[in-house]
Structure 1
Amino acid sequence: MAGPERQRIDKWLFFARVVKSRSLAARLAQSGAVRVNSIKIDQAAHQVRAGDALTITLERRILVYRIVDTGTRRGPAVEAQALYEDLTPPAPTTAAPKAGSALRDAGTGRPTKKERRQLERWRDGH
């Protein structure tokens, strides 16, 4: 479903299901967390079109999208995913623990005083 040639960034973010509401989309655009073609924007009324590259900074991740089409409504997820091409690089893998650190089983809680003393002795090599 082809939309208009140009569209407000807040409407596009809402239609593409990047955020849950249009007011959140406007707030995201005004906060400076959205870049269009590497240019930081601060207006929700900024016009975007097909071919523009968006960099969106959310709380815990950064999204990189290329706009394929402007939408006409906030439809189901499949319809929303057709509006953009996801160029987001894969998340980095977690680093392996340091060689000198002792591993504990998940859910065992904090070590007791006795266990801390044993760890200290082990680390010091006594």
Structure 2
Amino acid sequence: MSEAAEKLRIDKWLWQARFFKTRSLAAKVVTAGNVRVNAQKIAKSSFSISPGDVLTFSQAKEIRVVRVKALGTRRGPAPEAQLLYFDMSEPKEKVPAAPRFEGKGRPSKRDRRNLTLMKNRQLED
């Protein structure tokens, strides 16, 4: 392998590994100083990474910690992209954005009608 094949720009790798939708978005995160490589803060998107490096960055209100396993040659499908890294982040419990009432969701028309009848009876008493 040549020396050039063992290293890759960090913005390109983050894009190939599908952490960011566009390469320019990945570059913005890096230049904002929100990425660390092996606990060292990086401010240039041209920084080269190699397999074995540990990246720490924020993504969608989460802190991601990943170890680079391989350098990609293209931005392929998600299963291919997941082979490029090992996720070291702590698994988080998935909490629904809007919890539903008693797991039933929105009441049906019949349920709403019954609720209205119950309220009217209580007002009459």
- TM-score normalised by length of structure 2: 0.70
Question: In angstroms, what is the RMSD of aligned CA positions?
Answer: 2.0
Letter in 2 for 1:64: V
- In structure 1, the partner of 2:52 is 51
SS in 2 for 1:82: helix
Q: Which runs of 5+ in 2 are unaligned?
A: 96-100, 106-125
- In structure 2, the partner of 1:4 is 5
Between stretches 79-88 and 51-60, larger displacement belongs to 51-60
1:71 aligns with 2:75: no
1:14 aligns with 2:34: no
Aligned 1:1-126 pairs, distance under 5 A: 4-91=5-92
Cα displacement (A) at 1:54 = 0.4
Instruction: Report the Cα distance in structure 2 between the residues aligned to 1:93 and 1:16, rounded to whole angstroms.
Output: 22
SS in 2 for 1:25: helix
Letter in 1 for 2:24: S
Alignment identity in percent? Answer: 46
Instruction: Report the Cα distance in structure 2 between the residues aligned to 1:38 and 1:78, rounded to whole angstroms.
Output: 27
Cα displacement (A) at 1:92 = 6.3
Indicate if the aligned counterparts of 1:4 and 1:71 stay in contact, CA closer than 8 A. no
Q: Which runs of 5+ in 1 are unaligned?
A: 95-104, 108-126
Instruction: Report the Cα distance in structure 2 between the residues aligned to 1:86 and 1:59, rounded to whole angstroms.
Output: 15
